[in-house]
Amino acid sequence: MIRDHWLYKSTDNGRHKDLPAARHVASPNFSERPAGTAIDVLVIHNISLPPGEFGGCWIDDLFCNQLDPSAHPYFRDIVDLRVSAHALIDRQGQLTQYVAFDKKAWHAGQSCFSGRQQCNDFSIGIELEGCDDQPFTDAQYQCLIALTRHLQDVYPAITSEHIVGHSDIAPGRKTDPGPCFDWRRYKEALS
């Protein structure tokens, strides 16, 4: 069963934070969550660097503050961003983890969920390699579904109603994961 494929390392207090099956690339762009904050929201994003192009090292470089502004004209505008996500699922369904799930990744920016501001404090951010106007791959859905099930096991407050797109928590500012993301397929597979 896919659900049993993912194994977590436990911290001393029994909380799970890392996926050994994932490729690990440590981003410096994270911080501690506010004390006593429950993790109860999963935010789905999309990213491609340069926009509309897939593959390469550019997402890793962005999340690790190593983006070369001379490599592409678009990078000059984003080289100073300090952002991250907890994980990325590439077009082949390969999972990369940048930030431990119990830490605060810098993925949501100015955001609000159910009247609560600063979604980074209480959410997990998953990036899908893609863009608003291209479908995501079967491998990405399979990995995302398996990862979501395990996150829900570890953080049971992440219910179906607490799984949102970046556009849901930052409307007017963000559009991802975009109209090509198949929410119905994803949510039905989780039920």
Q: Which of 127, 129, 161, 188 is catalytic?
A: 127
CA distance 164 to 43: 5
The strand pairing partners of 113, in sequence order, are 116
State the Rg of the chain over Cα: 16
CA distance 98 to 25: 5
Q: Which two tokens stand for residue 66?
A: 């190593």
The angle formed by the CA atoms of residues 8, 59 and 63, to the nearest 5 degrees, is 70
The answer to whether residues 3 and 146 touch, using CB atoms and an 8 Å cutoff, is: yes
Does the active-site annotation cover 188? no
The answer to whether residues 67 and 151 touch, using CB atoms and an 8 Å cutoff, is: no
Task: Report the residue count for the chain.
Answer: 191
The answer to whether residues 95 and 127 touch, using CB atoms and an 8 Å cutoff, is: no
Which residues are catalytic, by number?
127
